[in-house]
């Protein structure tokens, strides 16, 4: 904890750099599609609260930075009731206002504006990872068994040094990292390993053990274990432009799958909810990764961008996915959900998100022994 606070500037600056970039990208997605479909954008804000500084562009949008840099928003004309006057009465929209009103756009255009934020986060992550793969390559280790730990699952099922794992549950394996991720995130789920030994292929069933580990950032995780280590050294896979961005797309897809799998394991109880982290944990990770180098920090920003894009697609009121759920209802029923029902949904969504945020902060504070003693 002392080290964390003495190096606080590094953690704060790294966190702000990462979160500002990914939030800007997210809101820029909303902004660009809104402009493209003719919606009048009134405010583009990075951060909330009192404006620190900003400017107006030639089309009347106010670009600003808020006092609290934990998020951001794009305010579009017609999202709320912009016709309410000081005396509480409303007035009809002019033709010009109707043309630029978000609420008066077609269902397809409103949906496009909403989904553009998460899509922008994914595009950003793919571009960043693709450029990193193209510039530096992708580290990997061949999926060949080296060490087999005594009294491990691998020893029990007869894995031997030199075995090459070519598939797990019928899915091709290209690197030892693929094997590790499948086993670690599976949390004891039975697997079928297809291996090559002495030129022959065979399938071996395995049920990984589950252990608790503490990562380099102080986070405790439950992971699956076979009890094997790689045989070779880490190599670097190089790519051409198309292959680099193809690999980046695949990595973004796989990362999303791992996040969803972990969340489902928390819901069903096979993984502890204490693994959920919030802004403090992200800040600590950003600072620790920043110490490793700018390239690593850029890669971390891509990961956070994927997380932000995916989280915003969840069908929770207050999030983009919640709005898309309302639009799906509108598409099926042929009319929008009742205003009263939407208001209640937003209240429930707000309570849920605030509760989730507080729970994540509680988990974050448990990283430090002082706070852990206060909480237990």
The residues annotated with a catalytic role in the active site are 27
Residue 198, exposed/middle/buried by CB under 10 A (0-12, 13-18, 19+)? exposed
How far, CA to CA in Å, does 223 sit from each of 148, 182, 212, 213, 283? 18, 10, 6, 7, 23
d(CA 294, CA 231): 30
**C-beta separation of 359 from 365 below 8 A:** no
Q: Alpha carbon 263 to chain centroid distance?
A: 12
CA atoms within a 13 Å half-sphere pointing along the CA-CB vector of 329: 13
- Longest Cα–Cα distance in the chain: 85
Residue 46 DSSP SS3 = strand
**C-beta separation of 64 from 45 below 8 A:** yes
How far, CA to CA in Å, does 282 sit from each of 6, 12, 125? 17, 10, 17
Question: Which residues does residue 354 pair with via DSSP β-bridges, in sequence order?
Answer: none
Q: How many residues does the chain have?
A: 376
CA atoms within a 13 Å half-sphere pointing along the CA-CB vector of 174: 8
Please report which residue ranges of 137-228 form alpha helices under DSSP H: 153-157, 176-186
How far, CA to CA in Å, does 296 sit from each of 51, 306, 327? 32, 16, 39
């Amino acid at each position: 904890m002392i080290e964390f606070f003495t190096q606080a500037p590094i953690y704060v600056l790294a966190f702000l750099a990462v979160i500002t970039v990914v939030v800007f990208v997210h809101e820029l997605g909303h902004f660009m599609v809104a402009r493209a479909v003719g919606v009048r954008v009134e405010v583009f804000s990075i951060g909330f609260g009192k404006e620190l500084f900003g400017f107006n562009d030639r089309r009347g949008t106010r670009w600003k930075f808020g006092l609290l840099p934990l998020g951001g928003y794009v305010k579009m004309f017609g999202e709320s009731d912009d016709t309410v006057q000081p005396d509480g009465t409303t007035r009809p929209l002019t033709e010009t206002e109707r043309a630029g009103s978000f609420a008066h756009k077609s269902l397809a255009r409103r949906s496009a504006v909403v989904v553009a934020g998460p899509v922008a986060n994914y595009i950003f992550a793919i571009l960043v990872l693709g450029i990193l793969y193209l510039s530096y390559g992708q580290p990997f280790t061949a999926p060949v068994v080296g060490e087999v730990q005594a009294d491990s699952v691998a020893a029990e099922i007869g894995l031997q040094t030199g075995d090459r794992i070519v598939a797990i549950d019928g899915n091709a394996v290209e690197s030892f990292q693929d094997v590790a991720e499948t086993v670690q995130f599976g949390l004891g789920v039975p697997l079928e390993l297809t291996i090559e030994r002495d030129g022959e292929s065979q399938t071996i069933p395995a049920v990984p053990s589950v252990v608790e580990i503490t990562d380099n950032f102080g986070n405790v995780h439950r992971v699956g274990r076979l009890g094997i280590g790689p045989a070779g050294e880490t190599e670097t896979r190089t790519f051409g432009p198309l292959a680099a961005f193809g690999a980046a797309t695949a990595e973004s897809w796989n990362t999303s799958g791992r996040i969803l799998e972990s969340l489902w394991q928390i819901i069903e109880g096979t993984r502890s909810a204490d693994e959920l982290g919030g802004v403090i944990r992200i800040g600590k990770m950003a600072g620790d990764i920043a110490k490793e180098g700018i390239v690593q920090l850029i890669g971390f920003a891509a990961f956070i961008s994927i997380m932000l894009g995916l989280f915003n697609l969840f069908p929770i009121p207050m999030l983009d996915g919640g709005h898309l759920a309302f639009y799906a209802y509108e598409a099926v029923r042929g009319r929008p959900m009742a205003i009263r029902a939407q208001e209640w949904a937003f209240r429930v969504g707000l309570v849920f998100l605030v509760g989730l945020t507080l729970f994540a902060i509680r988990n974050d504070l448990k990283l430090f022994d002082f706070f852990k003693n206060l909480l237990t």
